[in-house]
Structure 1
Amino acid sequence: MHGFVNPPVVHASTVLFESTEAMKKRQSLPYTYGLRGTPTTKALEEALSELEGAHDTILVPSGLAAITIPLLAFLGAGDHLLVVDSVYTPTRTFCNGTLKRMGVEIEYFDPHVGAGIAELMKPNTKVVFLEAPGSNTFEVMDVRAVCDAAHAGGAVTMLDNTWATPLYFRPLEHGVDLSIHALTKYPGGHSDVMMGSVSANEATIKRLRDTQMQIGVNAAPDDVYLVLRGLKTMGVRLERHQASALELAGWLESRDDVAEVRHPALFSFFDHELYDRQFSGSSGLFSFLLPGGFDQAAAFLDALRLIGLGYSWGGHESLAVAVDLSDRTICKGPGNGTFIRLQVGLEDVPDLKADLEGGFAAASAARG
């Protein structure tokens, strides 16, 4: 705009109209009130829509809001919702809490169900919610097979695409109606902003946008600027996240004190074929199974010095957390240890290995 490299940050609530006639015809105008968008939010919406191959995109204040708003848009009392069991825990909490109180019937399904999801569809199934790979345990589903069966039954499909980003997976090309993204993660990239997006096809965008405006949420201009800035380097950062995570995953897989490594891009991973067929790359998040009880896992984590303990991911810093699968009904894991989820940041891999070595030594000492 006006020759500047970056779009301006527009702080606005009120928009002035030239006349009462213009006010009457405001639906045809690009900007009418700050909540409905500004040139700043429009710039990010358009960038994300292009990356996702979507008709349009909405912005919301957090990744969780990017999950809850489309669910609220397409579900009501008496409807049936199918959710993959390996879903992000706050998604399950919202489904089992708010949606159940609204009178929505919730049912969880195995991520490997494929076209067999047709057998779970009911006349009142309105939404099928997917996440690929699965949260923490990283199961990979056949997205096209699930979506085709869901559409045949009259349901809308949604997928949380935060792990791969649209650089490595474009859900709408696999039959998904709405692609959900926690922009807090890789697009922001610096652990200093919270935001979410939902990129929709033409058939679903109006209802999605109407619900967003009826609830009354959008993204703040300064936050949008930070995500726009992060988006410009996301591809370069993801290449580093991917390479470092794969090197660490291979190293962990070679260790006797690691029972299992769950990284979809590893050839040894049980769903690697599904990953390879659908994804063009991987990110910096994966998990490994540490043998023993939680005391050993706690000793491992508490011994880390470079790698922080924290629940987010996608930033420049490496993080680790013990995975809690107690809410799962199907994807419970092997049960002979504790999964440790690693977010591999931009640090040098030898430094990360050295830090993890300290964790393994502490876990071994805790076993006695």
Structure 2
Amino acid sequence: MNKHDPHEQLNLDELRDETLVVHGDDWVTNDGTVAPAIYYSATFRAQNSAQFAEMAGTSRHPRYYTRYGNPVHERVKKIMAELEGTETALVTGSGMGAIATTLLTLVSAGDHVIAQTRHYMSTAKIMDEMLPRFGVEVTLVEQADILAFEAAIRPNTKLIMVESPANPTLVITDLAAVVELARPRGIIVVADNTFASPINQRPHDLGVDVVIHSATKYLGGHHDLTAGVICTSEELAERIWQTHISIGSVLSPMDAWLLLRGLRTLPLRIERINANALALAKFLEEQPQIERVYYPGLPSHPQHELAKRQMRGFGAVIALAIKGGYEETQRFVSALKLIPNAVSLGGIDSLVVHTAAMWEGVMTEEQMRTAGIPPNYVRLSVGIEHIEDLKADVLQALQAI
């Protein structure tokens, strides 16, 4: 292949992830730059009326109006579709923008949705409050019980929403088994893959129709942007995009550029994060102040074998229960010196939250019980720091309880 010819494209299917994230978008925008440019323009100029008509009539055109698309969006979309193994991708202004836009596209009044009892809190509120307001029935099932999914299916079931590992409990859903139930019945399966990342898990390979990410987390990786990504087929992407341009959850060109920059190092960061999290989870299991540690990479996790089958790595997030209750948990979180008490996950620096304290402001007690969030629960997202420094910080905090 002549590498100087911009019209000659790499065979991306032959590239490994580490190379794909660096070169997968090389020919998307042929502007001669090595580092991608930021196209900070809300609108783009047509050379004549015929070109304008072509731009206006082309779905997801990258140079018409940034709510419709942007050249930086195109670069992100190309890499993400390749990472997840889908035909295409869409980008949004946040992960919840991606989830809400997808759900509002794919279900209508009179439809039935199956979701998990354990979802990210804002997803749970969509299921509990928003969809029923629009005449959509929702049944919540225990995600670890595939028979519960099967029993919940109705003639009007249109969509199954899954999230694995689930936030914040790290319960695993058998994605292939859910797809096996859904596909013969024409039910669309949507998976939130945020907690895994496409490096650790590829739901589309298991038959999932739509894969969603909060790109604020692993994909961006530096806690400096909010974004969402939807990876799916051309047909579903076109439908979702039509809703997207009406709802307007637009990803800014700057955040798209930051996301693209974060993707360049995603495989490297995930490799370090996976190793750190597993080592820290094993260390935490040995501490007498800990009641229980939940991490899919540990043999003690009740779904460890399932996690090994459908995941290539186990991610940043460790859930742990502190012996005692709410007050002891608050003291532990407050005593950490290296690890900040802050929301989000999957970045270069470790973060910790007292889960009950975080969620009690937006969820009712009943919703928290349903989601399996006890008062002594901690969510720890492990970053790329030296593992011995992380162990030392956790140990001194435990001793301060």
In the superposition, the TM-score normalised over structure 2's length comes to 0.86
The equivalent residue for 1:168 is 200
Q: What is the CA–CA distance in structure 2 between the aligned matches of 1:225 and 1:56, rounded to whole Å?
A: 18
2:372 is aligned, of 332, 348, 356, to 332
AA in 1 matched with 2:284: L
The equivalent residue for 1:90 is 122
What are the within-5 Å matches in structure 2 for residues 218-367 of structure 1?
218-324=250-356, 326=365, 327-328=367-368, 330=370, 332=372, 338-363=376-401
AA in 2 matched with 1:343: S
What is the SS of the residue equivalent to 1:180? strand
Q: Deviations over 1:82-139 (max 9, x none)?
A: 1111111111112222222212212111112225522211122111100001111111
The equivalent residue for 1:153 is 185
Segment drifting more, 107-116 vs 241-250? 107-116
Q: Deviations over 1:58-104 (max 9, x none)?
A: 11111111111101111222221111111111111122222222122
AA in 1 matched with 2:175: V
The equivalent residue for 1:20 is 49
Contact kept in structure 2, 1:63 and 1:183, CA below 8 Å: yes
1:99 is aligned, of 113, 127, 131, to 131
The equivalent residue for 2:17 is none
Change (3 A) 1:55 1:115: farther
Q: What is the CA–CA distance in structure 1 between the aligned matches of 2:177 and 2:398, rounded to whole Å?
A: 41
Q: What is the CA–CA distance in structure 1 between the aligned matches of 2:108 and 2:247, rounded to whole Å?
A: 15
What is the SS of the residue equivalent to 2:169? coil
What are the within-5 Å matches in structure 2 for residues 13-162 of structure 1?
13-26=42-55, 27-28=57-58, 31-114=63-146, 116-162=148-194
AA in 2 matched with 1:12: S
Segment drifting more, 20-29 vs 275-284? 20-29
AA in 2 matched with 1:340: V
Shift of 1:149: 0.9
Q: Deviations over 1:301-337 (max 9, x none)?
A: 111111111111112221111223842465526x6x6
Q: What is the CA–CA distance in structure 2 between the aligned matches of 1:202 and 1:24, rounded to whole Å?
A: 22
Q: What is the CA–CA distance in structure 1 between the aligned matches of 2:134 and 2:148, rounded to whole Å?
A: 28
Shift of 1:234: 1.2
1:189 is aligned, of 221, 227, 250, to 221
Change (3 A) 1:144 1:328: farther
What is the SS of the residue equivalent to 2:198? helix
Contact kept in structure 2, 1:85 and 1:329, CA below 8 Å: no
Segment drifting more, 232-241 vs 17-26? 17-26
Shift of 1:292: 1.1
AA in 2 matched with 1:359: A
Contact kept in structure 2, 1:40 and 1:224, CA below 8 Å: yes
What is the SS of the residue equivalent to 1:289? strand
Shift of 1:23: 3.2
List gaps (5 residues or longer) in structure 1.
364-368
Shift of 1:203: 4.0
Q: Is 1:11 the counterpart of 2:40 in the alignment? A: yes
Contact kept in structure 1, 2:141 and 2:148, CA below 8 Å: no
2:241 is aligned, of 209, 213, 230, to 209
The equivalent residue for 1:366 is none
Shift of 1:45: 0.7
Q: What is the CA–CA distance in structure 2 between the aligned matches of 1:216 and 1:57, rounded to whole Å?
A: 16
Contact kept in structure 2, 1:118 and 1:153, CA below 8 Å: no
Contact kept in structure 1, 2:349 and 2:383, CA below 8 Å: yes
AA in 2 matched with 1:132: S
Q: What is the CA–CA distance in structure 2 between the aligned matches of 1:284 and 1:35, rounded to whole Å?
A: 33
Contact kept in structure 2, 1:121 and 1:153, CA below 8 Å: no
Shift of 1:361: 1.7
Shift of 1:280: 0.6
Contact kept in structure 1, 2:94 and 2:249, CA below 8 Å: no
Segment drifting more, 191-200 vs 316-325? 316-325
AA in 1 matched with 2:228: G
Change (3 A) 1:77 1:2: closer
Change (3 A) 1:30 1:68: closer
Aligned residues: 361
What is the SS of the residue equivalent to 1:126? strand
Segment drifting more, 320-329 vs 98-107? 320-329
- How large is the RMSD of aligned CA atoms in angstroms? 1.8
